[in-house]
Structure 1
Amino acid sequence: MVDDVYACVVHAAGDLRVEERPAGEPGAGQVAVRIEYGGICGSDLHYYHDGGVGNFRIREPLVLGHEVVGRISGGDLPAGTPVGIHPATPCGACPECARDRRNICASSSYLGSAARDPHIQGGFVQELIVRADQVRVLPAELALRTAVLAEPLSVAIHAVRQAGEGAVDGKRALVTGAGPIGLLVAAALRQAGAAEVVVTDLHEAPLALASQVGATQTIRADTTDWPDEIDVAIEASGTAGGLRTCLERVRRGGTVVQVGSLPGGDTAFAGSLLMTRELTLTGAFRFDHEFDTAIALLADGLSVDPIVTHAFPLDEARAAFDLASDRTVASKVLLDLSGDTQR
């Protein structure tokens, strides 16, 4: 245990600080985790640039981060045990929890989120106290730098599962957007048995990464040269244009899964195509049991390491966030919280 810790805190749009905070002590049913790596997510970038994600606006200083791994430093588990942290705490009592759809629990707490008031403080902090049932002991052979991808990989696995049981096995799938989630969706599609995975993006660098993690074909999003008979399309760009591409390119009777975070408010989409071609359009939000699946796949050697392109020490958080915002250069950018930080 430590006397004080440093954390990456957003106060408002463009106002990101590394500041000292008092360390806590784990209570009953809790553990303390000395965080080593944290992955910067698209939602973290939205909080940094826009002061919110969709309708969730910053109303108080918020410690960012929900993709975090580290080692036990207090509580009932042995000190030094490597762990991943499931960022969600569903209520356990609502109809959604009762139906085992805890990822859409309206009362769930999620690390680094402004969805509730007071906000749920996140994991970009040198030592984090969480419920013991949120931690997963990691296999000894799984490096923490790779294990930090378990959370976004869980999102990708859930998106693939939302297409339906066996829906991608032996089929041709399309992924719009080759950011970290889109890249992990491509890897998850191949692991689920997709025969072909077509990935689109506007930039060459992420498309090159897509080829390394499972894409069988990459296409510039501004091209007119498209393959026929897309069976399943997964929209990972979070743009209206990406959604339209999915609705236009998927075969008649096909399925589209929206996993990219669209802007708050209304989004125009090609509803006539949805109707006349009898498409299925469904959403994919966060994950639940997929977290354990993701850890197992990473431990088994799922090839996703190229997605991590950069790592910065905590006291260079602003530089890390700025680089992570440039998709022509960076994919998944990590904060390394394992060293000493002084400001």
Structure 2
Amino acid sequence: MNDMAIAATLFAPEDLRLVTREPGTLAPGMVRLRFGAGGICGSDLHYFRHARTGDYVVTEPLILGHEVSGEIVAVGTDVDGLSPGDRVSVNPSRWCGTCVRCREGRQNLCENIYFMGSASKTPHMQGGFSSLFDATPDQCVKVPSSLPFSSAALAEPLAVALHAVARAGAIRGAHVALFGAGPIGLLTMLAARRAGADHITMVDIAAAPLAFARSLGADAAIDVSAGTAELDDAAAGGPIDVAFEISGTSAGLASAIRAVRRGGTVVLIGNLPGGDIPVPANAVMAKELDLRGTFRFGTEFQTAVDLIVAGEIDVQKLITAQRPLREAPDAFRLALDRSQSVKVVLTAD
């Protein structure tokens, strides 16, 4: 294929450009996809604003995008089970499959992982916000032609939410609080409800996302923009058994630790600022809390696709705007405005 590709490429903070590139010759064992849709993630927005997310710093031009779907347009040699015309949801993870963590079944902690649209390694692994991009067959999960590309693209954030809920342990009948009402927070809310959470409280500092959370089924939505240090049990609907920190802020983590009951669990999902941050560690000790990290996802990606295809979780409810890939810079600016958007999705046209 000699078609040129247009890619949303980050060069510096708030310097996102549409760059024309030559995809090159398709390598053996790879497939080439035409971009179908891509969700703009919170980490994409961190890269856009700061050219970094957490400890991952952009040191070379980076094509963003890891929530993507597309149509296969070519297959390399030694590829079985995929053909041009197949629609797929793309798992952005490339696991080695051979390291100790992979053999343990914890592929998300793969010691040799490459992740699309991430600066975690140098050279960076380029992302999927490109009109043409390549992937391995293992990254491609076929979906019905009737499924919108936008739904298939959101399997990735749903997989993040499913993995986080799994890390929390048994939550049937539990009171769950989520600190951060962005897309991952909302999907975690839906995943927690599916896992049997009895009462769900959403906490945020912005009114619009909290209203959206209520519309999706939150039992309580609490605005802490006034800087309340303690989350009142009465307002939350009783003692909190499990708290998910999704905001990616030290204040959110501190609030989650303080709010959860004695003997409760705090799960960290949000990508916190790089380096050291203040944590109320004495509360973790004195309340004997379980503080658990959660990083991306493993086999939950296939589960996420299956749930979306079956209609068990309707990710379309989160999409508040769609913009063509050629308008990516403006779409990113829209996604930054939480008063106007929850989930912004890029489309092929």
Query: Common fold, TM-score beyond 0.5?
Result: yes
CA distance in 2, matches of 1:143, 1:31: 21
What whole-Å deviation, never above 9, does each CA across 1:87-130 have from its counterpart, x for those lacking one? 01122222211211110123200001111111101100011111
Matched, 1:17 2:17: yes
- Asked whether the equivalents of residues 62 and 112 of structure 1 are also in contact (C-alpha less than 8 Å), the reply is yes
Q: How far 1:226 sits from its partner (Å)?
A: 3.3
Matched, 1:238 2:242: no
1:319 equivalent among 322, 330, 342: 330
* Higher mean displacement: 307-316 or 205-214: 205-214
Amino acid at match of 1:178: A
1:105 equivalent among 102, 110, 127: 110
Q: Secondary structure at the match of 2:236?
A: coil
- Asked whether the equivalents of residues 201 and 219 of structure 1 are also in contact (C-alpha less than 8 Å), the reply is yes
TM-score (norm 1): 0.94
- Asked whether the equivalents of residues 39 and 65 of structure 2 are also in contact (C-alpha less than 8 Å), the reply is yes
2:345 equivalent among 305, 323, 334: 334
CA distance in 1, matches of 2:24, 2:172: 47
Q: How far 1:221 sits from its partner (Å)?
A: 2.1
Matched, 1:292 2:302: yes
Amino acid at match of 1:270: P
- Asked whether the equivalents of residues 212 and 306 of structure 1 are also in contact (C-alpha less than 8 Å), the reply is no
1:129 equivalent among 125, 128, 134: 134
Q: Secondary structure at the match of 2:46?
A: helix
CA distance in 1, matches of 2:111, 2:53: 16
What whole-Å deviation, never above 9, does each CA across 1:66-88 have from its counterpart, x for those lacking one? 00001111115222211011101
TM-score (norm 2): 0.93
Q: Secondary structure at the match of 1:79?
A: coil
Aligned equivalent of 1:249: 259
What whole-Å deviation, never above 9, does each CA across 1:44-82 have from its counterpart, x for those lacking one? 111111011122111111111000001111115222211
Please list, as runs of the form range in 1=range in 2, the aligned pairs for 1:36-185 lying within 5 A after superposition: 36-75=36-75, 76=79, 77-164=82-169, 167-185=170-188
CA distance in 1, matches of 2:153, 2:135: 17
What whole-Å deviation, never above 9, does each CA across 1:190-229 have from its counterpart, x for those lacking one? 1111111111111121112212333222111246533321
Q: How far 1:2 sits from its partner (Å)?
A: 4.8
5+ long unaligned stretches in structure 1: none
Please list every run of at least 4 consecutive aligned residues from structure 1 whose deviation after the TM superposition is greater than 4 angstroms: none
The sequence identity of aligned pairs, in percent, is: 44
CA distance in 2, matches of 1:244, 1:303: 32
CA distance in 2, matches of 1:92, 1:214: 38
CA distance in 2, matches of 1:202, 1:127: 38
